[in-house]
Amino acid sequence: MTPNYYSPSVCVIGAGCSGLTAIKNLVQADVENVTCFEKNGQVGGNWIFTAGKSHSSVCETTHIISSRKMSEFLDFPMPEHYPDYPSHAQVLAYFQDYARHFGLEKYIRFNTPVDKAEETADKKWLVTLKDGEQHQFDYLFTANGHHSVPRWPDIPGPFDGEYLHAHNYKTNAPFAGKRVLVVGAGNSGCDCAVEVSRVARHTAISMRRPYYIIPKFMMGKPTDTYNKLLARLPHFLRQPIQKLSLRLQVGDYRDYGLERPDYPITRCHPTLNSELLYRIRHGKVHPRKGIERFEGKKVYFKDGRVEEYDTVIAATGYKIAFPFFDERFVNFEDAERIPLYLRMIHPKHPTLFFIGLTQPQGCIWPLSDLQAKLAANHVAGRWPMPENVDKLAEEECREIEKDFLHTKRHSLEVHFHPFFNKIRQQIPSDAPEWGVLVD
């Protein structure tokens, strides 16, 4: 039973992967006074695919880039009949099954967007819904994701053709017979380039810096499963083996017309794609340097090349956005560093938890599960928050700056296994499991 007689009230914003596991872990910790506000009509968040423009960044052919076994929640395995890399439809079905299995929907108010969330003087939360309805809570768990507000590249000059963000790319059909340029070689950019190249007259991909393009299978295993095996080795052995394995699988990036990265694989968020290099060597995708400027339909590249395109797709990531917070309260997008302990606890706001605000080199869902479990047990009185949270948050910022490239996309980056273990070690020994509470 919970050490406290009073059951605190908790607001969860969002019923995507992180919001669902937040609800589940709160209930598991015996915190029953939970209300989740979800703007959509169903669970699933970013994984609710629609053919038109929406909150979701998922496209028609999206599959996850982490493998099935490395992506599932800690106590709810994905179905064995799922492939190594499930489709967006299978992922959505998995989240729906998770919500149904643990009886989470009764805590969720669907079609209910949050307009404002304000911290009160006594560190409680006043939540105002879009219709003006207000509620007060003891704790706030934000789980609204960070793949919904596009970040556009800063490129001088107007582009007179079609200019869209990868967030609004849904299918390759509209690009048949066109000359298309994809800007950015992250996972979304490479996926867009591959799919567009199947129907476009000409497809190019612009990279302003070198990237590691990593196959989704390594030595016959899903790449993250292979890396998990290597994680048992000392660091001085693991990194050379990773580098050699990639070289054996891919060869020299310069043979593809790409620059060879001059930094270790682990310092950058991985781009997993088994088709891009294949399409490049078959003349279907053409690598290009960074862009200097637009002029009409012309694109001026930094190596002096000039080409005309009908469409430019900006696959340049997403802003860290909390539309329900006043920008003066929390604004991580413009911050050089994000001072959160365990990537979820702000030193100045002890009743606020950011669930899933990470960019792991692996899958986010198991990490959200652990974050939610720890936060829920704090709410239930089992885990006391450290007194030096500000110092611990600062140490994490320094670790990120030391371990990863200094770019916007790496401000939330973590190494999956060390971060997983770091949170797991904090879970109190008396934290209840689901079977203890539910028959």
Q: Are residues 196 and 298 in the same domain?
A: yes
Q: Are residues 22 and 126 in the same domain?
A: yes
Which of 283, 314, 345 finishes a domain?
A: 314
Q: Are residues 330 and 428 in the same domain?
A: yes
The residue range of the domain holding 222 is 162-314
Residue 154 lies in a domain: no
Residue 331 lies in a domain: yes
Q: Are residues 134 and 198 in the same domain?
A: no
Eight-state DSSP code of residue 63: B
Q: Are residues 236 and 176 in the same domain?
A: yes
* pLDDT score recorded for residue 5: 52
Residue 216 lies in a domain: yes
Q: Are residues 310 and 177 in the same domain?
A: yes
- Give the contacts of 254 (CB within 8 A, at least 6 positions apart): 260
Residue 138 has pLDDT above 90, yes or no: yes
Q: Are residues 78 and 21 in the same domain?
A: yes
Within 102-221, where are the H helices?
A: 187-196
Residue 438 has pLDDT above 50, yes or no: no
* pLDDT score recorded for residue 3: 47
Q: Are residues 81 and 178 in the same domain?
A: no
* pLDDT score recorded for residue 2: 43
Q: Are residues 292 and 323 in the same domain?
A: no
| Cα distance between residue 117 and residue 174, in whole Å | 39
Report the pLDDT averaged over residues 237-254: 89
| Cα distance between residue 33 and residue 77, in whole Å | 27
- Considering its fold, how many domains does the chain have in total? 2
Which of 262, 290, 314 finishes a domain?
A: 314
Q: Are residues 185 and 252 in the same domain?
A: yes
| Cα distance between residue 222 and residue 44, in whole Å | 25
Digit-coded pLDDT (tens) for 2-51:
444 578 999 999 999 999 999 999 999 999 999 999 999 999 999 999 98
Which of 282, 314, 346 finishes a domain?
A: 314
Q: Are residues 284 and 242 in the same domain?
A: yes
Digit-coded pLDDT (tens) for 319-373:
999 999 998 998 898 877 899 999 999 999 999 999 999 999 899 999 999 999 9
Sheet holding 134-137, edge to edge: 114-119, 125-129, 134-137
Tell me the CATH number at 236.
3.50.50.60
Give the H/E segment covering residue 238.
Answer: helix 235-250
Q: Are residues 188 and 285 in the same domain?
A: yes
